[in-house]
Chain A
Amino acid sequence: MSSTTSSTTVATSRRPNLINSLFPSVISGIILGVAGAAVAGVLVNRITTAFSPDSVPNDDAVAAAVYTAWVLLFFIGIGAFNGIFKWAFARREPTPDEELQLAGKGQGLWRYFRFTTDHKVVGMQYLATVFVLFFFGAMGAFMIRLEQSRPGAIFFNPSTYNTIVGMHGILMIATTIIMVSGPFGNFILPIMIGARDMAFPRLNALSYWLLFAAIPIFFSTLFLGGFQTGWTGYAPLAVQGLTPGMDAYCFTILVFAISTTLAAMNILTTVIVMRTRGMTWGRLPVFVWGIVLSVILSLTAFPSFMVSQIMVLMDRVFNTSFFLAASGGSNWLYEHLFWFMGHPEVYVMSIPAMAVAAEVTAVFARKPVFGYRLLVSGLVGISVLSVIVWGHHLYLSGSENALVAPYMLDTELISIPTGIFFLVLIGTLWRGRIWVTVPMLFVAGMLVNFVIGGITGIYLADLPTDEILHGGMFVVAHFHFVLPGSMVLGFFAGLYYWFPKMVGKRLDPLLGQLHFWLFEIGFLGTFTALLYAGLQGEPRWSANIAPPFATPNLIASLFAILIAASVFTFIYNVIYTLVRGERAVANEWGAKTLEWTVPTPVPLENFEQLPVVTSLPYDYGSPLPGPATAVADIASAVIEAPIQPQVEE
């Protein structure tokens, strides 16, 4: 995990004292952030009380002030602005030594707790965060299954239940958005394109720490009465007074959207300008294409979500009326803003996971991707069409009927490029020499679940069946087949595949197989039962299971126990691997992409000399010379002339 090659050289520079190495760090960030939040909270409380006619503080304004102060001061405390201050006031550029210091050189594990710019550190930070958020999201899911296992709302009170459902939803959505582009997009992608770091390393650290800053804001909702709107935060309901827990939701989205937008910009710029010699667009690994298309989509999607939350906050804090019909607003405005984010966002999650699956399949079938250009065109097609499908969420909203036909057309069109993905994966497996490793198992599970998820989506895309299923458990089961069932399995395929490179140890394959089978069996059981319940008419978001839906819900809850077991198997596997796992070799799977040509652990600047690329990294079974599976010779298969004079040094 620590970069041993770089830490030996730094020892010669002056030894930093304890204060210097501890601050600035996440500790000073939290101290300053909490202090600032407290001051801002008290101040705004006093001010709004003084100006209010009946001497009542404006809770929403207090919450807004507290969260704003927390984010700003946290960033000052963690040293995010130090470089800018130096540049502006001391009027000097940072020295190369300072840059290396900022990249975490020679700081051991502590670099993971600082504003560190090294893309590998940011990738690991994202990975750890994804684990933690998935864990809490999964706990929410099991609480929902507990409540729905019996008819009648008996385990939680209504407010708690709605908050759990909303928290589970938005936690999982947010985590699924970052699960591939965060850890792998930051750690693996720059190495894959032959770069030493991201295009904007400071921005990279900023986007991670913004995500970090959003987490306490999000969980503060638990102490502020929760929120009743579910993950969609639909607006007249979100604007109703109730509790300041709703402000926590809005602010979380705001900070998260900024974080994701910055990260997207950074990744896109990196791929445009930082590719090594010979890495043309036609030679980009499929994974890089997936991430690029996904971040382009998030650039179009998230601003709209941000705007919607700013409007909700204005309605709440300043009593504007964007969404109140009684004062000229409209709930349709929120629905359109929300789903303009909400549907592209599904593909923000899907495209990278699909790309991971293609990447992994080629390696383990020992075959080139079947139709690389076809697949890339398919992914491009998905991302273009996905920007204009959002209207199918409003089929039954009571808007103009004329909108139904174009949205139905577009929604059904998108299954054509998605179909290409299946052709490519099946073709890649066909007549391969398939090495059934844990990543390969997860890809197989992903394909099974994705077919079911895709096909159940057809019923929802077609109006005559949508009008008996919309807003029901069928929809819930459908998007669970697509998101956790397919895309999270894609993430796990990537995780088992890249973990040896990222952490330097290989996850235990037996535990990995157990993890897979427990999850897949539990998952199919749970959500097939819920598909059935939804077909019978069970509504969404409901704690109170009506008697006709009781049996399928109980079955779903029982199968969910297997999913819970798989979660703990996975946690055990990670901990066990970190403590006692076997050391991984540089090219664990005999793959041909560039990240497998660098040593493990990856040195601070990735490459001693930047590679030159001459072909796609999938020339398995080609008549080209060189045994492709021999670990030592992999580099020669991809890079014909690795030693080139460096321009930038």
Chain B
Amino acid sequence: MSEANIGGNAGSASPAEPRHLRRVLIIWAVLSVIVIAIWLAVAQFILPQAASSLDSSDNFTFLVLTVLAVPVALFVFVFLGYSLVVFRVQGRPTEDGVPLQPRPSLQVGWLGITSLLCLFLLIWGLIAFYQETSAASTSNTLTVQVTAQQWQWTFNYPQYGASSAGAQVIEVPVNRPVEFYVSSKDVLHGFSIRAFGVRVDANPGYVTTTAVITPTQIGSYVVQCVEICGLFHSDMWEAVNVVSADAFNSWIISQGGHV
């Protein structure tokens, strides 16, 4: 390729080219609209049930990012598929393709659009992050000390002098803010309750505070270890039930606490 070629599109573009480009862009636009519509229709069945406001806002972020991702992915898929179908030759090609080089405007435009997408992701992520970390605990907030050890979870409730040790299930009350203080007795564990949108490492020797979350749905959920922690990592999960305030109080008493 000659140096002069770089920077300018080959001027001798055949008249067929604009038709190709227009056709691909139309296919892309139509497909994008269809796939986004399908995604919006089925997202509620694909995304799991959220049991806290934080988890539903996380789910919403997932929904938005997917809407954004669909046209980006389809752009590559449509151009790739179209090229492979339309520009394919049977057997060994006897002549070369058009030696195109990107125009500066294309390069700048591409970089500009991808940069804008990145900027959007960053701003969206940071706003969500500061929203969740700025939720301050109030006097009503339930404090739960979570202790991980190989291979079980123990929840302590210092406000009630109770512990989940020996219990079949762990319980937390509905519609009351909870703050988890997570630590580990031995190795690194990963504390996660998917339905609450809570996930943080349990580090030996350190206590990590999670965001304040409020369980909103009565039901049975799971606390599980998401970091490999040795032999029985696969079994390190326990049921966490969100129950009414009354049921929670009686559970606390059954666990040796006082209300």
Chain A contact residues, CB within 8 Å of chain B: 153, 158-159, 161-162, 165, 228-230, 232, 234, 236-237, 240, 242, 324-326, 330-332, 365-368, 370-374, 396-398, 401, 404-405, 408-409, 412-413, 415-416, 419-420, 422-423, 426-427, 429-436, 444, 447-448, 451-452, 455, 458-459, 461-465, 467-468, 470-472, 532, 535-537, 539-544, 546, 590, 615-616, 618-622, 624, 628-629
Contacts and interface: CB of A to CB of B under 8 A. Distances in A.
Contacts of B197: 467-468
Interface stretch (B124-132, B171-179, B241-249): B124-132
A470 B201 CA distance: 10
Interface string B161-200: 0000000000000000000001000111010101101111
Given A326-B204, A431-B17, 14 more contacts: A162-B231, A324-B204, A374-B102, A415-B117, A429-B83, A432-B83, A464-B128, A468-B194, A535-B46, A535-B47, A539-B226, A544-B234, A619-B1, A621-B97
17 contacts: A234-B227, A234-B228, A237-B228, A240-B187, A325-B204, A396-B200, A401-B133, A405-B129, A408-B122, A408-B129, A431-B17, A435-B91, A448-B77, A468-B197, A537-B192, A544-B235, A622-B99
Nearest to A617: B1
Nearest to A440: B84
A416 B95 contact: no
Contacts of B5: 622
A433 B95 contact: yes
Given A398-B201, A432-B97, A459-B65, A541 B102 contact: no
A471 B226 contact: yes
B35 interface: no
Q: Looking at B111, B222, B225, B233, which has the most chain A CB atoms within 10 Å of its CB?
A: B233
A463 B129 contact: yes
B76 A416 contact: no
Contact of A471 (B121, B199, B237): B199
Interface string B195-220: 10111110111101000000000000
A465 B121 CA distance: 11
Contacts of B237: 539, 546
B124 A448 contact: no
A97 B134 CA distance: 74
A326 B46 CA distance: 43
Contacts of A415: 114, 117-118
A413 to B, nearest CB: 6
Contacts of A368: 1, 99-101
Given A435-B89, A444-B80, A448-B80, A468 B233 contact: no
B126 A366 contact: no
Given A228-B231, A622-B1, A366 B96 contact: yes
Nearest to B118: A412
Given A398-B201, A458-B65, A366 B93 contact: yes
A323 to B, nearest CB: 9
Interface stretch (B53-61, B137-145, B251-259): B53-61
Contacts of B69: 455, 458
A600 B118 CA distance: 47
B72 A427 contact: no
A155 to B, nearest CB: 12
Contacts of B125: 408, 412, 461-464
Please provide the 7 A-B residue pairs with the shortest distance between their CB atoms, ordered closest to farther.
A325-B205, A471-B226, A537-B194, A398-B208, A621-B96, A432-B97, A464-B128
Interface of B: 1-2, 5-6, 17, 20, 46-48, 55, 57-59, 61-62, 65, 69, 72-73, 76-77, 79-80, 83-84, 87-89, 91-102, 106-107, 110-111, 114-115, 117-118, 121-122, 124-126, 128-129, 132-133, 182, 186-188, 190, 192, 194-195, 197-201, 203-206, 208, 222, 224-235, 237
Contacts of A332: 203
A373 B107 CA distance: 11
Given A396-B200, A468-B194, A546-B222, A434 B87 contact: yes
A592 to B, nearest CB: 11
Q: Looking at B62, B117, B199, which has the most chain A CB atoms within 10 Å of its CB?
A: B199
Given A236-B204, A431-B100, A539-B225, A461 B121 contact: yes
A159 B222 CA distance: 24
Contact of A532 (B46, B57, B118, B201): B46
Contacts of A467: 58, 197-199
A161 B235 CA distance: 13
A616 B225 contact: no
Contacts of A590: 92
B79 to A, nearest CB: 5
A462 B228 contact: no
Given A535-B46, A536-B48, A237 B226 contact: no
Nearest to A334: B188
A452 B73 contact: yes
Contacts of B229: 237
Nearest to A455: B69
